[in-house]
Amino acid sequence: MRILEISLIGIGLAMDAFAVAVCKGLSMKKLDWKKAIIIALYFGIFQAIMPVVGYFLGSAFQSFVDSIDHWIAFILLVIIGGNMIKESFGGESENCNEDIDFKTMVLLAIATSIDALAVGVTFAFLKINLLLAVTLIGIITFAISLLGVKIGNQFGSKYENKAELMGGVILLLMGVKILLEHLEIF
């Protein structure tokens, strides 16, 4: 998997964090850069840790699923992407407050990075450079989350659902690409 593909997956995964970051920015009367950086750090760090956990879970079961690993990657990415697309039409904003206490942020970071855990499982089957992948995913999520707080503070929740839709489409397309490559169609 090339850097571009990993970056696209990182962008797709970061969209949940972006949506919550927009909400956090929306709740701030005046943009607080210290809070924005803390929010972005939580999301970036958790988004980088979860694929590692998923990778080791996937590696533990790799010998059992070697012949169908591309189907597993396809199914997981399609389910995650499809769920994000579905949620983008929901319209409700959750966790829209300015709190950045430890408990609140850990719960939000876990909730927005569960998808990354599943993607980490697919990484084990694809034999990618894990350090490069999680570094890119963490940095991309940090940057997108920081941007999300700024956008939320300036423009409101206008982009929240569009971001989730875009993230879902990216993950869905990456799943299809993996399947087509393994079936030697693409």
Mean pLDDT over all residues of the chain?
85
The answer to whether 69 touches 175, Cβ cutoff 8 Å, is no
Give dist(CA 151, CA 19) in Å, integer.
10
Please give the single-letter amino acid code of residue 84: M
Position 177 pLDDT exceeds 60 = yes
Position 93 pLDDT exceeds 60 = no
Tell me the domain boundaries of the chain. 3-182
The string of pLDDT tens digits covering residues 136-176 is 999 999 999 999 999 988 876 566 677 778 777 887 887 88
Question: What pLDDT score was predicted for residue 158?
Answer: 63
Three-class SS state of 148? helix
Which of 39, 12, 52, 53 has its CA nearest to residue 140?
12
Position 4 pLDDT exceeds 70 = yes
Position 37 pLDDT exceeds 90 = yes
Provide the whole-model pTM.
0.75
Contacts of 161 (CB under 8 A, 6+ apart): 19, 88, 89, 90, 91
